[in-house]
Structure 1
Amino acid sequence: MAANYPSRPIRLVVGFPPGGGGDLYGRLLAQGLSKRLNNPVIVENKPGAGGNIAAEAVARSAPDGYTLLLAMSGNVAVAPVVRGAKLPYKSPGDFAMIGMAVEAPYGLFVAAKSPLKSGKQFFDDTKHKEITVGSTSPSSAAHMVMEMVKFKSKAKMLYVPYSGSGPAVTDLIGGQIEGFFVTAPPLVGQVKGGILRLLAITGDKRSPVIPDVPTFKELGVPVNVTQWYGLVAPKGTPAEILDKLSRTLSEVLKEPKVRKVIQQDGAAVADIPRQRFAAYVDNDIAGYRNDIDPGILASLAH
């Protein structure tokens, strides 16, 4: 079977609606894989439950290489920590890793007119008073990373949940909340347009697209986790197929046009093949499990 693979269309299941969230990356990778495999790779959108619906569908699919998942922090690393036994699939156990592709920092945003001018000032202020910070829905990846920042910095932050970035940004500009914590690249345009200010980002190093923005690590808050996207298949997929897909994904990520799309708003190309990707995911899960207030995790599990 592996020798003739692929011989029919491959489905790439994406846990976002068309045009939303990581759908851009899913379609970009599907297009590149289709070209290099000389075989259709068709995006199938299964939004809902923070990407968990898509992950469950792939976990239950035949392990033949014809159903893949655009995996991400939320449904592969955060969900097993937050939902535990309630999660309808096991992660990473129900999946075979193919490769990581994209890494995007999370960021702490304020309105351009905010009196908070820097990340240092933000953390200095939170020593003396509680600051309202919005993020996406409870137990989402962005919310969990915000809780990680809060736990490691001991900052006084009041979490305000939002269903999406649109309403949160409106409230941020209107002064209903003082900060917003979310995956950074989608809002970089509003920073460059003078609507928002970005105080700090997660990750090991600054982004070349926004070089003036420090990392939380530079501010003394060691939070390196990022929003990542990669490809996985159902557990039991033959190693030869996984190897072929991993090699092909690496080739796609070397293409200048692909790199340009990924990097244009501050995300980074993260070409991490199979075995290294598996180790990365294990480490990511451990970070969420160990670096968030246990009381927060317990409250979300009920």
Structure 2
Amino acid sequence: MKWLKYSILMLLMCSALSLNAADYPNRPVTLLIGFERGGTAYTQAEVLAEVLADNLGQPVSLQRKSGLGGGIAAAMLASSKSEGYIVLFTPSFPITDYPPNVQASYSIDDFRYIGAVSEDQHALVTSRFAPFNTWAEFLQYARQQGEISYVSQNMTDRHLIQTIAEKEGFEVRIIPVSGGAGMAPLVLSGDVDLAFSGGTHSRYSDTGEMRVLAATGQRRLEHYPDIPTLEELGYPLIMQSVRLLAVPKDTPEYQVEVLIQATRRALEDPRFIQVTQEVIRQPIRFIDGEELNQFLYQQRQRQLQLLEHTHTE
């Protein structure tokens, strides 16, 4: 009799789970983004929202909460109770880029990750008006000037340029901005010497309005194979991230699974392929589960090592 009761209970639980899965989503979903219109993250998010809406059968609207290099949006999601109905789309840096020994409002473990969808193409870039065309020419210019102006989008890229400056013997005046939308006007006008770009340069480099001087990832940029990485230039520095979707950590598993399947289908949609590979020029790369978690922890470790280096030099 006990076994019969247990079996009935399990059947009822499984039936409830199936009904919940079939019922989700039953209202509009919000795609949260921490960057302004004009950068590659927002451009990609607009198309992703449209494709996800088709896959989920519910409207998906964009909500911007820019600031702190995407950190404000990440903090908003971490404290959200709208499991499954607010989804964060972000480069992975805001998830991992917070100071050590500081009580941050969130950490890597405060999210449930749907998956990464593409690989950022980070670079150090300059204007067409700059009096240098290569990294070697930039270093000569920086040493002659003694100080350069640099547009930064997050804590990690600030430590990266400071590490380089300490090694090469010049000073850096940091100009913080939020995303590529904040970076682009300063570079295009020639008002700054150097900038970190998470991918916005892809819109301007072919026309010559921006020059790509170095890649910051482990590999050369897919669309700029002649541009060396910082490692190839003699700096043991790697700054690499992916673009991912995340929900609050307590989101029910059946909702997560629905979102994973919708995201997988989105990566095969011609609209998403076109904006990712042709417009913002990023390789599509789906990572989820333990592989994505390990990537985030490795990224965090690199950031801590870079921070430690700049504090001990």
Return the alpha-carbon distance in structure 1 between the equivalents of residues 222 and 188 of structure 2.
27
Return the alpha-carbon distance in structure 2 between the equivalents of residues 216 and 198 of structure 1.
12
The residue number in structure 2 matching 1:156 is 169
Report if the CA contact (8 A) 1:129-1:156 is conserved: no
Structure 2 unaligned residues grouped into runs of 5+: 1-19
| Cα offset, 1:292, TM superposition | 2.8
Q: Encode CA deviations 1:235-294: one digit per residue, 9 max, x unaligned.
A: 111223223312321221122331221122432222112332222111111111112345
1:190 aligns with 2:204: yes
- Name the amino acid aligned to 1:232: A
Return the alpha-carbon distance in structure 2 between the equivalents of residues 209 and 37 of structure 1.
33
- Name the amino acid aligned to 1:105: Q
| Cα offset, 1:150, TM superposition | 4.2
Return the alpha-carbon distance in structure 2 between the equivalents of residues 13 and 296 of structure 1.
34
Residue 160 and residue 18 in structure 1: after superposition, are their counterparts in 2 closer, same or farther (change >3 A)? closer
Q: Encode CA deviations 1:44-84: one digit per residue, 9 max, x unaligned.
A: 22223332332222222225311211132342111x23683
Report if the CA contact (8 A) 2:216-2:230 is conserved: yes
Return the alpha-carbon distance in structure 2 between the equivalents of residues 52 and 20 of structure 1.
16
Q: How does 1:232-243 map to 2 (within 5 A)?
A: 232-243=246-257
Return the alpha-carbon distance in structure 1 between the equivalents of residues 42 and 95 of structure 2.
16
Report if the CA contact (8 A) 2:127-2:210 is conserved: yes
Report the more deviating stretch, 41-50 or 96-105.
41-50
The residue number in structure 1 matching 2:244 is 230
1:214 aligns with 2:232: no
Q: Encode CA deviations 1:200-233: one digit per residue, 9 max, x unaligned.
A: 1122222332232222222232433234321111
Return the alpha-carbon distance in structure 2 between the equivalents of residues 210 and 165 of structure 1.
20
Q: How does 1:107-122 map to 2 (within 5 A)?
A: 107-122=123-138
- The normalised TM-score by structure 2 is 0.79
Residue 84 and residue 105 in structure 1: after superposition, are their counterparts in 2 closer, same or farther (change >3 A)? farther
Structure 1 unaligned residues grouped into runs of 5+: 298-302
1:285 aligns with 2:304: no
Report if the CA contact (8 A) 2:187-2:194 is conserved: no
Report if the CA contact (8 A) 1:11-1:41 is conserved: yes
Report if the CA contact (8 A) 2:113-2:246 is conserved: yes
Report if the CA contact (8 A) 1:131-1:178 is conserved: no
3-state DSSP of counterpart to 2:47: helix
Return the alpha-carbon distance in structure 2 between the equivalents of residues 72 and 190 of structure 1.
21
- Name the amino acid aligned to 2:183: S
Return the alpha-carbon distance in structure 2 between the equivalents of residues 77 and 251 of structure 1.
27
Q: Encode CA deviations 1:166-220: one digit per residue, 9 max, x unaligned.
A: 452156x25xx4322332x312333222233211112222233223222222223
Report if the CA contact (8 A) 1:198-1:213 is conserved: yes
3-state DSSP of counterpart to 2:232: coil
1:267 aligns with 2:291: no
The correspondence for 2:186, drawn from 168, 173, 193, is 168
| Cα offset, 1:3, TM superposition | 4.2
3-state DSSP of counterpart to 1:291: helix
The residue number in structure 1 matching 2:96 is 77
- Name the amino acid aligned to 2:46: R
- The normalised TM-score by structure 1 is 0.81
Report if the CA contact (8 A) 2:213-2:227 is conserved: yes
Report if the CA contact (8 A) 2:163-2:310 is conserved: no
3-state DSSP of counterpart to 1:90: coil
1:96 aligns with 2:112: yes
- Name the amino acid aligned to 1:212: D
Q: Which has the larger radius of gyration?
A: 2
The residue number in structure 1 matching 2:51 is 32
Residue 124 and residue 150 in structure 1: after superposition, are their counterparts in 2 closer, same or farther (change >3 A)? farther
Report the more deviating stretch, 126-135 or 8-17.
126-135
1:147 aligns with 2:163: no
Return the alpha-carbon distance in structure 2 between the equivalents of residues 169 and 82 of structure 1.
31
| Cα offset, 1:128, TM superposition | 7.8
1:132 aligns with 2:132: no
